[in-house]
Amino acid sequence: MYRSPKFQYGISKTSGFTLLELLLVVFIMSVLAFSAVSLTNTMDSSQDQYRYERANNQAVGLKKAIIDRVDGQEVVSGFVADMGDLPDNMTELAFGVKDGDPDDVFPENQSIAPRFDPTPGVDYYENGSGDEFALLLGFPSPVSTSLNLRKGYRGLALQTNEGTPRNFYMGGYLSLKPGKNIYEGLGKPRFDDGWGNVSPANSYTKRESYTIPASNAFGDDELTHGWEWAFPDNVETSLIISSYGKNGEQGGTDYDEDLVLATIHADDWSVDSTDVHVELQNDVFEVERDCSDLRALLLVYNAKINKWRSIPSLNFGSSPSNGFSRIAFPAGLRIPAGTHVLLLNRESNSRTTPLALADEVQAGDENSTQPEIQRLLFAPDSRLIKYKLQVTLPDPDDLSNSVTYINDAYDLLPLSTKISELNTKFRDGGVGVGEYDSDPLEYVASDNTIKLDAAAATTAMTNNRDFANIQILFDPTDANNVLIRAKHINILPGQTNVLQISLSSTVQPQP
């Protein structure tokens, strides 16, 4: 008879899990729970690390936006190079928007003619006294090449009728988020520190010269975008940018810790004025020449206030033959990195911009056997400028005195005509002075010299007096008188800058 397996093997079949199976299930569930917790913690930690690294990268971007120099290149770029100063806050850097007047922005980057103020204020900024003038024409030919510089906020100027401010820039020095290109107060695109914090109160320490207006002023978050933005102890020339970390508050440890991420020292973006030197090369005269009447001027533009600085150097001394005379600028100034204008100028008449010189190339002897010879040098294209000659010689009737004659008018007549007029004056004499028997002046066109001929002009022309008294005067009211002999120069931060200019690039014999 057939029997079922149940009875055949004597085994009773029951349902349920064994103890081993239950322990295995509990173990698996524990592992899964632990893994979930670990994964969550790992994700949180990874996200924190990502934000921390993003804050560091943002700080690097901020520093490059303010001032950037590529190693090996003799130029700089960024806000400082274009604007001539540090940004006072993030709103200025990101959008070119001024605090206090949200509809107002900095001048946009464009070609601008340098302005020279011969009588600037104590800070060397043009003072609006009315004697400023633009250097419309410049190097190397004053007719064809402009001295203009590109200055101002670099970015795309935008306008919107929605919200305020309506005028602003995008994409100037920091990359905006796609689709977030409208600046409307708190709805602005943010350049935050990676944590997306809102700046707490007192996160902004202003520069001493920066005045927060009483009305329309931005709040700290508008000015800092979640960073701490500080000019410590009102130091004008250094900027420290810090992150408050994960908690968005001052203090804390680990990822909550406050971090100084970018420090821009004075030497990172500017140069002490005493570290800017000018070398004047005497490549015109065969002998040492006294250049104490010459000085260099550095024209530096501050686009934030739309003013030029006319910073004068110390005076040159003697310039050796085929050598250099080096001078520096007054102490106590910071020269921003970037491109500026360097010009050579006569201190005695700062409006007389074409450099004109008279140089003795041969001294007359005591026995009147050889004439004294003066060579005249003019700035290139000085024929475009009205001028006079002024000559001082001994009085032939009283050698203890001198007599001075000057051309009657500023005009464009050739040198030969000017000298002929002066010879007539010296021969005719005047009230209280003696008369020369013959022409004391002889112009030699071949080498642009004037002979002071003692033998032909009585014994008054002996070498018992200094005959280096020929001056070339230019009409200060002539519009062409603003033809400056100048050049563009680059100031690089963190080093001594030596700028060179030669007399041959500024003066040459007039054809």
Using the predicted structure, report yes or no on whether residue 507 has a pLDDT greater than 60.
no
Confidence of residue 313 (pLDDT cuts 50, 70, 90): confident
- Sequence-distant (6+) residues with CB within 8 A of 467 are 360, 364, 372, 374, 393, 452, 461
Across the chain, what does the average pLDDT equal?
A: 75
* Mean pLDDT for the stretch of residues 362-376: 69
> In 67-174, which residue ranges form alpha helices assigned H by DSSP?
79-83, 90-95
> How deeply is 114 buried, as exposed, middle or buried, from its count of CB atoms within 10 A (0-12, 13-18, 19+)?
buried
What confidence tens digit (pLDDT) does each residue in 267-285 have? 999 999 999 999 888 776 6
Using the predicted structure, report yes or no on whether residue 162 has a pLDDT greater than 70.
no
* Mean pLDDT for the stretch of residues 182-209: 73
* Nearest partner of 458 among 443, 473, 480, 440, judged by Cα: 440
pLDDT at 192: 79
pLDDT at 141: 39
CB 111 within 8 Å of CB 136: no
pLDDT at 66: 93
How large a percentage of the chain has pLDDT more than 70? 68
Using the predicted structure, report yes or no on whether residue 168 has a pLDDT greater than 80.
no
Q: Measured between alpha carbons, how far is 45 from 358 in angstroms, rounded to an integer?
A: 78
CB 107 within 8 Å of CB 302: no
Using the predicted structure, report yes or no on whether residue 393 has a pLDDT greater than 60.
yes
* Mean pLDDT for the stretch of residues 174-186: 57
pTM: 0.72
Using the predicted structure, report yes or no on whether residue 387 has a pLDDT greater than 70.
yes
Confidence of residue 384 (pLDDT cuts 50, 70, 90): low
* Mean pLDDT for the stretch of residues 354-359: 62
- Is 271-352+488-505 assigned to CATH 2.60.40? yes
Q: Measured between alpha carbons, how far is 268 from 242 in angstroms, rounded to an integer?
A: 17
Confidence of residue 83 (pLDDT cuts 50, 70, 90): very high
Using the predicted structure, report yes or no on whether residue 1 has a pLDDT greater than 80.
no
Confidence of residue 182 (pLDDT cuts 50, 70, 90): low
Beta bridge partners of 302: 307
Confidence of residue 395 (pLDDT cuts 50, 70, 90): confident
Structure tokens at 110: 């464009």
pLDDT at 490: 92
Confidence of residue 32 (pLDDT cuts 50, 70, 90): confident
* Mean pLDDT for the stretch of residues 257-262: 85
Using the predicted structure, report yes or no on whether residue 138 has a pLDDT greater than 50.
no
pLDDT at 352: 41
pLDDT at 322: 65
DSSP code of 314? P
The residue that leads in pLDDT, 453 or 208, is: 208
The residue that leads in pLDDT, 143 or 421, is: 421
- Where is average pLDDT lowest: 20-29, 271-280, 458-467? 458-467
Q: Tell me if residue 471 falls in helix, strand or coil.
A: strand
pLDDT at 335: 94
pLDDT at 432: 57
Q: Measured between alpha carbons, how far is 483 from 136 in angstroms, rounded to an integer?
A: 8
Q: Measured between alpha carbons, how far is 324 from 257 in angstroms, rounded to an integer?
A: 55
Amino acid at 251: G
The residue ranges of every structural domain in the chain are: 47-113+150-264, 271-352+488-505, 357-479
Q: Measured between alpha carbons, how far is 26 from 16 in angstroms, rounded to an integer?
A: 16
Confidence of residue 378 (pLDDT cuts 50, 70, 90): low
pLDDT at 213: 67
pLDDT at 299: 92
Count the neighbouring beta carbons within 10 Å of the beta carbon of residue 175.
Answer: 12
- Sequence-distant (6+) residues with CB within 8 A of 505 are 139, 140, 485, 487
The residue that leads in pLDDT, 258 or 475, is: 258
* Mean pLDDT for the stretch of residues 185-194: 68
pLDDT at 167: 62
pLDDT at 303: 94
pLDDT at 360: 73
* Mean pLDDT for the stretch of residues 403-429: 87
* Mean pLDDT for the stretch of residues 246-260: 83
* Mean pLDDT for the stretch of residues 345-373: 62
What confidence tens digit (pLDDT) does each residue in 57-78 have? 888 888 899 999 877 677 899 9
* Nearest partner of 344 among 113, 104, 53, 135, judged by Cα: 135
Classify strands 276-281 and 497-502 as parallel, antiparallel or unpaired. parallel
* Mean pLDDT for the stretch of residues 249-258: 83
Confidence of residue 463 (pLDDT cuts 50, 70, 90): very low
